[in-house]
């Protein structure tokens, strides 16, 4: 047993192995690496790092960062702990169910690794302003939401001021799905951003409304029917909260009854929650691999002790184990980091409603509930209700009636902090 008290912040030898990396340059170190006390002091006393997400990836990331020498860590998560989290989110215990993930995770890390300060925020990333994000040297995302990734990606790109090098905040993004995972390094405005690679994502599963309404064949059809058709019919304008157990319980009961009516088996509470929250299966060991990759990149960026990833790492464990890295290139027409309008050729007969549907389905755009306008008029706005009602007649009109050839359409959505510019031309 060690003679040093567990409360001692830095007992002798605590960072012995890490110091072997930081004390002297080597054949693999970055050209700008300044070995010695300066880099160790920056890592342990000055670097401030933000972790977004305290779930399966986030728990691993927080532990790795604390044990690697980062001492000023902040974590954001809007979720509370569910009993189903306990098989892989190892910072939590059964007594923590119902509590804030961010708060419990931060308390656990500080107790386990004395001397490390973890500051939690129980809420949404959208609650914080630019000044909040400007304080960090580095951001690591362990998110399970494409929308949240798109939001923080655009926010960090918008922060960049060419006159202020400190405004560039490297973002490391990790994600897992079963035995597969990915980690990437994004230097806002310099490398490809998250938005540049939307076309690499699997297209979200969508079930035809006619099948859901009339001829369900799968348990998922019954759950979609309950959430998409029955909830608004019964509850009116009341918003479905997928984090509310009472709401999930209502959907489960209604979906189970419909499944029984059509002799369909397999509707369960967990499946109901999985369908409406689009939950992706997670395996603890895959989370550990991807979190380790993310934290190694954070360590390399913070210390320059080795060349960091350029810029994409993929792990595929479904057929043995296969991994590879590649450089994902910037898109010139990326609405976030490209700064150019997206060229789009439409049929002269296409309606505004059809254009909106195309924008939601297009793999490299994927904007939910887009609102459209030109420099001179509002074409269609999803909200507020009065504006939606006023612009609703335009849905049936042809785009060509409202937008001249080579005209620009601005697309916005409440879930994204950027606008997309379309330059419209028409096929002959």
Q: Which residues are catalytic?
A: 210
d(C-alpha 172, C-alpha 293), whole Å: 10
* DSSP line for 264-309: -----HHHHHHHHHTPPP--HHHHHHHHHHHHHHHHHHHH-SSPPP
Q: How far apart are CA 65 and CA 137, in angstroms?
A: 14
Q: Cβ distance 308 to 33 under 8 Å?
A: no
| Alpha-carbon torsion, ordered 152, 153, 156, 158, to 10 deg | -110
Residue at token pair 């959907």: 251
C-alpha 344: how far from its chain's center? 27
* Contact predicate 80/100, CB 8 Å: yes
DSSP readout, 378-390?
Answer: EEE---SHHHHHH
What single-letter DSSP state applies at residue 180?
E
């Amino acid at each position: 047993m060690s003679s040093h008290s567990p409360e001692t912040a830095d007992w002798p030898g605590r960072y012995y192995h890490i110091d072997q990396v930081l004390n002297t340059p080597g054949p693999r170190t970055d050209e700008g690496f300044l070995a010695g006390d300066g880099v160790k002091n920056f890592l342990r006393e000055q670097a401030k790092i933000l972790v977004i997400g305290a779930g399966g990836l986030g728990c691993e990331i927080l532990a790795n960062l604390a044990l690697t020498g980062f001492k000023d860590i902040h974590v954001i998560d809007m979720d509370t702990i569910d009993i189903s989290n306990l098989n892989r989110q190892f910072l939590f215990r059964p007594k923590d169910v119902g509590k804030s993930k961010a708060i419990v995770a931060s308390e656990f890390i500080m107790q386990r690794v004395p001397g490390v300060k973890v500051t939690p925020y129980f809420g949404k990333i959208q609650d914080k302003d630019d000044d909040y994000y400007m304080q960090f040297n580095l951001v690591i995302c362990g998110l399970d939401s494409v929308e949240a990734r798109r939001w923080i990606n655009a926010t960090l790109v918008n922060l960049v001021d060419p006159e202020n090098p400190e405004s560039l905040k490297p973002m490391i993004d990790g994600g897992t799905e079963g035995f597969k995972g990915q980690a990437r390094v994004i230097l806002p405005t310099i490398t490809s951003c998250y938005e540049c690679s939307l076309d690499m994502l699997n297209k979200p599963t969508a079930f035809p409304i006619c099948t859901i309404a009339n001829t369900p064949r799968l348990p998922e059809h019954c759950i979609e029917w309950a959430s998409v058709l029955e909830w608004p019919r019964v509850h009116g304008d009341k918003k479905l909260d997928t984090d509310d157990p009472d709401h999930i319980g209502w959907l489960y009961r209604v979906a189970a009854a419909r499944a029984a009516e059509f002799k369909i088996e397999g509707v369960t509470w967990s499946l109901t929650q999985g369908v409406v929250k689009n939950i992706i299966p997670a395996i603890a060991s895959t989370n550990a691999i991807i979190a380790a990759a993310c934290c190694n990149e954070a360590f390399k960026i913070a210390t320059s002790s080795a060349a960091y990833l350029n810029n994409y790492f993929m792990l595929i464990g479904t057929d043995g184990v296969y991994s590879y890295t590649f450089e994902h290139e910037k898109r010139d027409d990326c609405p976030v980091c490209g700064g150019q309008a997206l060229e789009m050729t439409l049929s002269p007969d296409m309606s505004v409603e059809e254009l909106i549907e195309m924008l939601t389905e297009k793999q490299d755009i994927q904007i939910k509930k887009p609102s459209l306008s030109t420099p001179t008029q509002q074409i269609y706005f999803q909200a507020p209700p009065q504006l939606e009602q006023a612009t609703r007649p335009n849905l049936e009109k042809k785009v060509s009636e409202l937008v001249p050839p080579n005209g620009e359409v601005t697309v916005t959505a409440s879930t994204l902090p950027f606008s997309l510019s379309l330059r419209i031309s028409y096929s002959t």
